[in-house]
Amino acid sequence: MSIRELRTPHVTAHRHMLEASSDHPSRGTSRPSVSGAVFRSALSQLAAGTSIVTLCDQDGHKLGLTATAVTSVSLDPPLVLVCIDNRARTAAALKAHTPFVLHFLAADQESLARRFASPIPNKFDGVAHYLTANGCPQLEDVLASVECVPYQVHPGGDHIIVIGRVVEVHVGGDDLLPLIYFRSQFLKRSITND
């Protein structure tokens, strides 16, 4: 028997298995989800950069919040994604397709991250910023920032998934390190190039 003859039954069986599973994408959905606490505990093991999302709502109020669920999506067109809790005031403005800025924080900006994660009403008081051409609050002295216009907004359970098309980028100095969130706290250790 040739190698081709030996492989054919295996390949055919594997192909049938894949086709059967793709015919039924909902298989396994009857299984209950894990609890929120267990899920949060597992996700706390994933180190994430810390970002701040800023925008102005339709009434001109400056809004902002701290986010760690941020990622790039595409290079062409340049797209980024951020997930926002539906209960946040920022979510309503983003659902209305408002331009926004994602700011990537440097390691020494923990107090800024905590400020924008807090419920205080005037988060921008005493924070160096200016308004962009799109009317978004742009924080100064961050690791980097990307200004976005709305591209797509999707429901995602208790969050919304916002995809923005990047229209402006500012990058800080190469000597800055990122603010990392891990195990529900900000890392205090610095990164070395060794």
Report how far residue 65's alpha carbon sits from residue 63's, in angstroms, rounded to the nearest whole number: 7
Nearest to 102 by CA among 58, 69, 59: 69
Measure Cα distances from 43 to 10, 25, 94, 135, 182 in Å: 37, 25, 25, 34, 9
Structure tokens belonging to residue 81? 């994604």
Structure tokens belonging to residue 67? 């986010």
Nearest to 143 by CA among 106, 184, 110: 106
Report how far residue 140's alpha carbon sits from residue 79's, in angstroms, rounded to the nearest whole number: 22
Model confidence over 86-101: pLDDT tens digits?
999 999 999 999 999 9
Q: What is the pLDDT of residue 175?
A: 83
Model confidence over 109-163: pLDDT tens digits?
999 999 999 999 899 999 999 999 999 999 999 999 999 999 999 999 999 999 9
Structure tokens belonging to residue 142? 């961050």
Q: Provide the whole-model pTM.
A: 0.79
Q: Which CATH architecture describes the domain 43-185?
A: Roll (2.30)
Model confidence over 43-88: pLDDT tens digits?
778 788 999 999 999 999 999 999 999 999 999 999 999 999 999 9
C-alpha triplet 145, 185, 177: angle, nearest 5°: 40
